[in-house]
């Protein structure tokens, strides 16, 4: 009973916080528990390929256009596949393979680009 009363008192005191403390608490809760961190390893990016490897992967690539608020990007993407020696086999399930310079994508657009490419695949 005392434990329940203590929890009720804590919750009542919590509700008496001013709006800025409440906003900070709710914001921290949402950031920690409700966001998915998107990292660059959710796709394979190839800056430089040998001409033979590039020709091999371009045989199976699709062109994806990704738009952000102010920028647009176009990528050659193969949604599934795996390198077996110098051949690219699309019968394997994997992360998307993107032929692009990852450094050419603005830092603030990288999460959107990866999320869009993964949703298109």
Q: How far apart are CA 111 and CA 67, in angstroms?
A: 12
Q: Which residues, listed in sequence order, are joined to residue 62 by a DSSP beta bridge? A: 77
| Alpha-helix residue ranges (DSSP H) falling in the chain | 2-15, 19-33, 51-58, 110-120
DSSP tag of 41: G
pLDDT value for 39? 54
pLDDT (mean) for 102-109: 81
pLDDT (mean) for 6-15: 76
Sole residue written with tokens 């399930």: 93
pLDDT (mean) for 101-107: 81
Q: What is the pTM of this model?
A: 0.58
Query: The tokens of 109 are what?
Result: 């657009």
First-residue to last-residue Cα distance in the chain: 54
For residue 19, is pLDDT > 80? Answer: no
Q: How far apart are CA 82 and CA 11, in angstroms?
A: 54
Give ∠ CA 37-31-17 in degrees, rounded to 5: 175
pLDDT value for 63? 87
pLDDT (mean) for 91-120: 83
Using one digit for the tens of pLDDT, what is the confidence trace for 26-49? Answer: 888 877 776 655 555 577 777 778
Residue 90: closest CA among 51, 116, 118, 62: 62
């Amino acid at each position: 009973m005392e434990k329940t009363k203590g929890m009720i008192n804590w919750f009542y005191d919590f509700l008496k916080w001013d709006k800025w403390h409440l906003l900070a608490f709710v914001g921290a809760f949402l950031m920690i528990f409700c966001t998915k961190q998107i990292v660059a390893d959710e796709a394979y990016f190839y800056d430089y390929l040998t001409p033979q490897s590039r020709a091999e992967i371009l045989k199976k690539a699709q062109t994806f256009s990704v738009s952000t608020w102010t920028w647009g990007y176009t990528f050659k993407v193969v949604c599934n596949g795996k390198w077996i020696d110098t051949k690219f086999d699309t019968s394997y399930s994997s992360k998307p393979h993107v032929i692009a310079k990852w450094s050419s994508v603005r830092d603030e657009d990288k999460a959107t680009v990866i999320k869009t490419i993964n949703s298109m695949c």
